[in-house]
Each structure stands twice: as C-alpha cells, then as structure tokens.
Amino acid sequence: MDINDNIKQQLQDNPILLYMKGTPQAPQCGFSAKTVQALMACGERFAYVNILENDELREALKTYSNWPTYPQLYVNGELVGGCDIILEMYESGELEEVVKNAAPQENSES
C-alpha cells in the first residue's frame, strides 16, 4: 500500500487521530505531551500514531497535510492543527465540542 493510501486509511478508520512523537502514556516531546493532556481532558477516546516509529510516514505526512511539525490532530479526516491551535481550542472550550461531535456515539437505546 502506498504511504498516502495508508494515511488516508488511518484517517478514515479513526474519527479522532493524533500523529505524535511517542505515545499518550509516554510522549517524546513537550508539544505532544501538552496536546495529549488537552485531548484527554475532553474525555473522549482517540487513536494515535507514533511517528517516530516510521520515518517514511513522518515525512509523507508533512507533505500530505502541508503542516511541517508534530503533533498533528485530525478530526473526521481533517487537519485541526498542532499544539498551539489545540491548546487555544481547549482553553476556549472548542476542542471538547469538536471531539465530542466526532467521537463514535454509543448506542443509547434501551
């Protein structure tokens, strides 16, 4: 599978996806750590990809997104932004709204 097809598949399979350095439990940079903290505070599950484990993906994603830095948060296949944007959105309450609207809804029928 072509690397861009791989990226598209990851975005299609995961409504909330964070490309980051490290993992949510062990971030490998301060920006990824701050982004994870903001996302976790919103209370929704999210998928992640550790871009340090795949050099080809790390470089291809910069071109795919036209965004040169990490982390990169995608919601419903669209790039939301990096750390600074995510933190601004968190402070304003917008991030929680965006991720809650994107999170898969549990079946609430009785």
Burial of 44 (0-12, 13-18, 19+ CB in 10 A): middle
What three-state secondary structure class fits 35? helix
42 is in an annotated binding site: no
What three-state secondary structure class fits 38? helix
Tokens at residue 39, please? 């996302």
Phi, psi of 5 (to 5 degrees): -65, -40
Binding residues: 29
Binding residues for [2Fe-2S] cluster: 29
